[in-house]
Amino acid sequence: MKFLTYLTVLALAATTLFTACSNDGDAARDAAVESLQSGQPAAGDATATPPTTTPEPPQNAAGVWHYTCPKGCEGGGGSAEACPKCGTTLVHNAAYHPPADATPTQTTPANSAITLPDGLTPTPPPTQTPEPAQNAKGVWHYTCSAGCAGGAGSAVACAKCGKTLAHNQTYHQ
């Protein structure tokens, strides 16, 4: 008799455990709730349209290049391509993206004349030093999306599989 009691309790516990761990239908419900909270249509919704993305220009409104040469060559580009002057792969320029809390400021075009009081000379902007390929913790700035070991300092082809390396956000943490 005790054996049947233990067996029944064990069967109920197992049923409860497996039922509690089952998430059938929860993903769809969670997606619907999330879409209502965000105001966006759910992923499976027939009215959902994929967001359109427009490519970013090579230079922002302030004239800052999106990718620059790590050797300091003049100019830049819109992607991690070869520097037109020295052939080195261009690296991402974080100064291209203004901080989220930045307020727009009036910028003076580079070719306009600025009149300064007598005795003052314009100071050139500080030169940017490129970020190293790995941070102090040894984390690569760009890594392979296929999971290959290693990485690089820019979005170049993976040395093992050939896929373009992706930006690794943990590099900046």
Q: How does 59-72 read in b/e, with b if 16+ C-beta sit within 10 Å?
A: ebeeebbbbbbbee
The per-residue pLDDT string of the chain (173 residues; one tens digit each, 9 = 90 and over) reads: 677 777 777 777 666 655 555 555 566 666 665 655 555 555 555 555 666 666 778 887 778 888 888 888 888 888 888 888 888 888 888 888 776 655 555 555 555 556 666 767 777 777 777 788 888 888 988 899 888 988 888 888 888 888 888 888 888 88
Instruction: In whole angstroms, give the CA distance from residue 92 to residue 68.
Output: 7
Helix, strand or coil, per DSSP, at residue 82 = strand
Angle at 53 between CA 51 and CA 55, to 5 degrees: 175
Is the pTM higher than 0.85? The answer reads: no
Pair of tokens at residue 57: 């220009």
Instruction: In whole angstroms, give the CA distance from residue 155 to residue 30.
Output: 35
